[in-house]
Structure formats: structure tokens, C-alpha cells
Chain A
Amino acid sequence: DSGVTQTPKHLITATGQRVTLRCSPRSGDLSVYWYQQSLDQGLQFLIQYYNGEERAKGNILERFSAQQFPDLHSELNLSSLELGDSALYFCASSPQGQGAYEQYFGPGTRLTVT
């Protein structure tokens, strides 16, 4: 158990809908990262938050947004969903914001868009 929790574990929704994925980092970790894993794209970095502020942005679509709250939990919002958004979405956390630290991954949310 990494100490990172993600809810829900599974999500099935229809195209055009909007969903929210939730992540609670390990106690004491200030950075939260979101990654998308799909068969065709592999593991892709989406976005990083550090202590409530956006720190780095990757291949995140404009239909996707995220935020980190004062209690450090984070939410990833996916809207106008398309079939191609079906994937595993991972949240990870680390103590600080730089790459010199290992990241602790949650179990993931499997999103299926039908």
C-alpha cells in the first residue's frame, strides 16, 4: 500500500459526460501528479500540483482540468468525454516538487467511456 488513495476504482460513463476523479496523497507529500495510461499512448504525464499551485503541465487536453485543495487532495475533471479517453488514470505523490524524489502511485481509476 503506497498510502495514496484514489476514488473511484472504476467508472463507466457515456460519451459527452463529465467525471471527477479524486486523489488523496500520502501524508506529508506536497506534490500530486496525474498520469494517463492507455494501450496506444502508454503512460503519459498530465499535470503536477505542488502545495496547491500548478507546477508542470504535460499532454493534458483542454477538456481536462485539475486542482489541488488546501488539504492537498486533488481532483481531475474530465469533460465532454470521448471514447479515446478510456484509460487508467493514476495519481502519484512525492514529498517535494522536483524530480529527485520517488513518486508513490495510487491504485488508479479505470475509466471506460461507452
Chain B
Amino acid sequence: SQQGEEDPQALSIQEGENATMNCSYKTSINNLQWYRQNSGRGLVHLILIRSNEREKHSGRLRVTLDTSKKSSSLLITASRAADTASYFCATDGSSNTGKLIFGQGTTLQVKP
């Protein structure tokens, strides 16, 4: 079964608003990553946060990680219509391989 659970499953906002997606996982991790997928296309890496980091920024993205609660959140600020996509968190399950365990994703719709 997938390790990550994401909340909400779907989110609809207006352009310019902020979007927050949450991810919970079950086992310990070394790293947590967020990916974006436009409809039916390949995934695009957004950001990687290590287990000893609490927060990371990349442009309009802010990711937080709380290993005590086994949860992470992705904040997209000042959203644009082009941000419409599905967003997935993925963990490595503290393995020493590259295997990623994905959540079921949050579908974000940004209305112009």
C-alpha cells in the first residue's frame, strides 16, 4: 500500500490565492519529495527536503516537514492558472535505494 496520504484530494482556488497541500506518511524517512503532474504527463520534481530540515523554499513554493508528526505540507503562493496540476508527495521509506513511495496526490485547479 502507498505510504503517503494527501489532503485534500482536490482543491479549487482563484488565481492569486495560496494553495496548501498536506501529506502524511507512515514510516521513518531520509527524504521527502514533491512532484507535479500535468494531466496524463510525466512527473516533474519540485523540491526535496531532508529529514533533518524543517522548511525549504523554492520560488513560490514552501515545503515544511514535521518528522514527529510524519507530515509535510506544500504551499504554493500567488497561484497561477499554469499551476493547475496534480501534486504528489513521495518518500524513500528510509531505504538506501532510490525507491519512492507516492501518495495518492492532490488535484489543484486554479481558476483564472
Which residues of A approach B to under 8 Å, CB–CB?
Answer: 2, 4, 31, 33, 35, 42-45, 48, 50, 55-56, 58, 88, 90, 92, 94, 96-108, 110
Let me know if A107 and B98 touch, CB within 8 A.
Answer: no
Which B residues touch A4, using CB under 8 A? 42
B100 contacts chain A at the CB level, 8 A cutoff: yes
In the complex, 14 of the A-B residue pairs with CB atoms within 8 angstroms, ordered by the A residue number, are A4-B42, A33-B99, A45-B99, A45-B100, A99-B96, A99-B98, A99-B100, A100-B31, A100-B50, A101-B48, A101-B98, A103-B98, A107-B42, A108-B40
Interface size of B by Cβ–Cβ distance < 8 Å? Answer: 26
Which A residues touch B44, using CB under 8 A? 2, 105
When A100-B48, A102-B48, A105-B42 are in contact, do A55 and B97 touch as well, CB less than 8 Å? yes
Which A residues touch B102, using CB under 8 A? 35, 42-45
Let me know if B99 and A58 touch, CB within 8 A.
Answer: yes
B41 contacts chain A at the CB level, 8 A cutoff: yes
B interface: dominant SS:
loop
Let me know if A42 and B100 touch, CB within 8 A.
Answer: no
Complex Cα–Cα for A60 and B10 (A): 29
Complex Cα–Cα for A33 and B33 (A): 16
Let me know if A99 and B42 touch, CB within 8 A.
Answer: no
Minimum C-beta distance from B3 to chain A (A) = 10
Let me know if A45 and B101 touch, CB within 8 A.
Answer: yes
When A100-B31, A100-B50 are in contact, do A56 and B97 touch as well, CB less than 8 Å? yes
Let me know if A108 and B42 touch, CB within 8 A.
Answer: yes
Q: Kindly list the 7 A-B residue pairs having the minimum CB-CB distance in the complex, ordered from nearest.
A: A99-B92, A56-B97, A105-B42, A102-B45, A43-B102, A105-B43, A56-B99
Let me know if A99 and B31 touch, CB within 8 A.
Answer: yes
B104 contacts chain A at the CB level, 8 A cutoff: yes
CB nearest neighbor in B for A45: B99
B14 contacts chain A at the CB level, 8 A cutoff: no
When A42-B105, A90-B43, A108-B42 are in contact, do A99 and B99 touch as well, CB less than 8 Å? yes
Which B residues touch A44, using CB under 8 A? 2, 102
